[in-house]
Structure 1
Amino acid sequence: MTTTVRQILQKKNIQKIITVSPEQSILEALGLMAEKDISAVLVTEGERLVGIFTERDYARKVVLKGRTSKDTKVGELMTQNLLTVSPSHTVDDVMQIMTDNRFRHLPVVEKGVLMGIVTIGDAVKTVIDQQAETIKALSGYISGEMSI
């Protein structure tokens, strides 16, 4: 059985989605990311998802362009027009979208409501867990300890 994004979010058991506003400084966003030990933060205006700001955005859009983190707003450099997934998407869908588009974070939105974020690490861990379960079931079947 393939794991859904909803199941991944449930396993993560995140109580609060970490977000910043477009008006916050890059420095504030980086401070929050460091405090929470995350590599991306979702950008919202009220309840509406408007972008994402990642370590990659920082490296390519701040440092390399000679901007300052203190004086630049998140809204100026965030990635907009995001691809999102719904809780009913599968881990296979997530892996395919991330691979095809070369990014590591996917916001999860259901009926216009931000539900969380799924990372490449979440997806890889889920696939590894699925493979371990399959191996365990097959080993049990081969040894005659259980049926599939």
Structure 2
Amino acid sequence: MYRYKTQYVAVMDRGDLVGIFTYASYLGNVLRSGKEAEKTPLDEVMNTAPTPVDAEQSCRDVFQTVCQNGFPYIPVEQNGRFLGLVSDDILRLELSRELNAMRKKIGFSFFSPDDGSAMGGARP
């Protein structure tokens, strides 16, 4: 996780998703509880019940599912095959871009997620 600068990883068994291990899981279920990381089985500290979403679902629907589940990530599948994980941060960014594109069409925008600048009011 450190090497790839990520906070979560998919745990796979023979090509099937069996859970998601997070840095928060490590902190909460291993370090704070006094367990030894080298002796703690992964299945004791990972989320073993992640509800996947379909790759064809909209970002809005997926974000709603992420919020309802209370986890900052969600597995994505297509035809029952695991494709990867998507985070709430990525979904927020995409939704912000979509909203900004709609605002640009009508000539009004508050925020540009591409450069982080505020752009209040009507645009010429």
Shared topology, TM-score over 0.5?
Answer: yes
Q: Quote the residue 1:125 is aligned against.
A: 93
Q: Quote the residue 1:47 is aligned against.
A: 15
Q: CA deviation at 1:43?
A: 0.3
Q: Quote the residue 1:136 is aligned against.
A: 104
Report Cα offsets for 1:31-79 as digits up to 9, x if no partner.
xx11001110000001011000011211211012111122222222111
Q: Which has the higher contact order (CA 8 A, sep 6+)?
A: 1
Pairs aligned (count) = 111
TM-score (norm 1): 0.69
Distance 1:46 1:124 in 2: 32
Unaligned runs of 5+ in 1: 1-32
Q: CA deviation at 1:112?
A: 2.3
Over the matched positions of the two proteins, sequence identity in percent amounts to 24
Q: Quote the residue 1:104 is aligned against.
A: 72
Q: Quote the residue 1:114 is aligned against.
A: 82
Q: Secondary structure at the match of 2:9?
A: strand
Distance 1:136 1:103 in 2: 32
TM-score (norm 2): 0.82
What is the root-mean-square deviation of aligned Cα atoms in Å?
1.8
Q: Secondary structure at the match of 2:37?
A: coil
Q: Secondary structure at the match of 1:107?
A: strand
1:59 aligns with 2:30: no
**Matched AA of 1:102:** G
**Matched AA of 2:74:** L
Distance 2:51 2:94 in 1: 21
Distance 1:45 1:65 in 2: 27
Following TM superposition, the consecutive aligned residue runs of length 4 or more in structure 1 with deviations greater than 2 angstroms are none
Q: Quote the residue 1:15 is aligned against.
A: none
